[in-house]
Amino acid sequence: MKTRSNDWIVGAVIVASMVGIVAATLYLQQADIGQKRLEVTARFRDVGNLQVGNAVVIRGVPAGRVQQISLAPEGWVAVRLNMNEGITLPTDPVVLIQASTLFGEWQATITPREAAPANREVLAALGEVTGAPQGTLPGAVLPDIAQLTTVAGGIAGNVASVAERVRTAFNDSAALELRQSIRNFSVLSNDLARAVRVQSRNLDSIVIGVRAGVADVAVASASLRHTLTRADSATAQGEIQTIIAETARTATNLVEASDRLNTLTRSLDAAERSLRSVVSKADSVLGKVDRGEGSLGLLVNDPSLYRNSDSLLIDLRALLADIKKNPKRYFSLSVF
C-alpha cells in the first residue's frame, strides 16, 4: 500500500515538473494561449542580426514578436510578424529593423512611411515594391552602432589627415611668408590711403566742375523750354500741318522732276548712240577720202586735178571777158 502511494507521488511530481517546464517555455516565448493574433508579413533585402522572437514595436510600445524569417524568391527575405490582439497598424506602414540595445539585441519597428529616416539607402529599399505580394509591407535595415562607429572612425581619420596636411603646409617658411604678406598688405594700405587723400582733393575739383556743368544744363534746359514754348505758340494755328502739306507737295514735285530727268537721260543716251554712229560713219568717209578712195578722195589727193581746175577757171574768165566785149560773136538776135 505504501509502495503504491509513493508511485502516485512520483507521478505527480513528474507531471508537475512537465507542466512547469511547458509553462516556463511559453512564458519565455511570451506565448498567449487562446488570444487571437494578427500576422503581418514584411520583406527585406537584408535583415541584419534580426532573429525569431525579437520584439515588434509600434511608437515605442511592444506590439508583437518576430515569428518567422525565411528566404523568398528574387533575393528577398520574408519576415512574418505576430502582432498582439487589438493592435492597429499605422497609415501606410513600413517596417524598420534596428538595434534596440548596445548588447546586440534587435527589434522590428512598424512606423508610417513619412516618419522613416531621410536616408537614401533606406528610402530606396522602402521604394522597392515591384513584385511584392498583396498585403506585404516594405522594409529596410537602419544602420547600427557598429556601422556608425566605423563611419565615424573613417571621418576621424580623414580629419586627422587634413590636419596633418595643414600642419605641413603652415611650417616656419609659410609663417615667414605670411608675415611678409601682412607687411606688404600694410604698405599697400598706406599707399591706398595716400591715393585716397589725393583723389579726394581731385574729387572736390571734379564736384565743383560737375556743379558748374549742372548749372549750365539747367540754363540750357530753361532755354529749350522757352524755345519749345515759342514753337508751341507758333504752331497753334495749324502751321505744322501747312508745313507738312507743303513738304508733301515739294516731295511730289521732286518725284516728277526725277521722272523727267530719267526720261531726259534715256533720250540723251539714244542721242549719244546716234551721234556715235554718225561720228563712226563720218570717220569712215574721211578715212576713205584720206586714202584717195572715190571721187572726192581723188579730187582731194590728186594735184593734177587742182592744176587743171585752175587752168579751166582761167579759160572761163577769158571767155566771159570776150563775151562781154563781143557778144554778137556768140549770140545772134533777129526781130520779126
Print the domain residue range for 21.
1-31
The pTM assigned to this predicted structure is 0.38
pLDDT of residue 56: 92
- Indicate whether 82 and 115 sit together in one domain: yes
pLDDT of residue 31: 54
Q: How far apart are CA 246 and CA 265, in angstroms?
A: 28
In a domain, 253, yes or no: no
End-of-domain residue from the set 129, 144, 159 = 144
In a domain, 41, yes or no: yes
Assess contact for 87 and 35: CB atoms under 8 A. no
Q: How far apart are CA 79 and CA 51, in angstroms?
A: 10
pLDDT of residue 63: 87
Other C-beta atoms closer than 10 Å to the C-beta of 158 total 10
DSSP string, 288-326: HHHHT-HHHHHHHH-HHHHHHHHHHHHHHHHHHHHHHH-
Q: How far apart are CA 161 and CA 182, in angstroms?
A: 28
- Indicate whether 11 and 54 sit together in one domain: no
End-of-domain residue from the set 106, 128, 144 = 144
- Indicate whether 135 and 95 sit together in one domain: yes
C-alpha cell at 87: 493592435
Q: Which residues of the chain have pLDDT under 70?
A: 1-7, 23-37, 129-131, 144-175, 231-240, 289, 292, 294-308, 310, 330-336
In a domain, 111, yes or no: yes
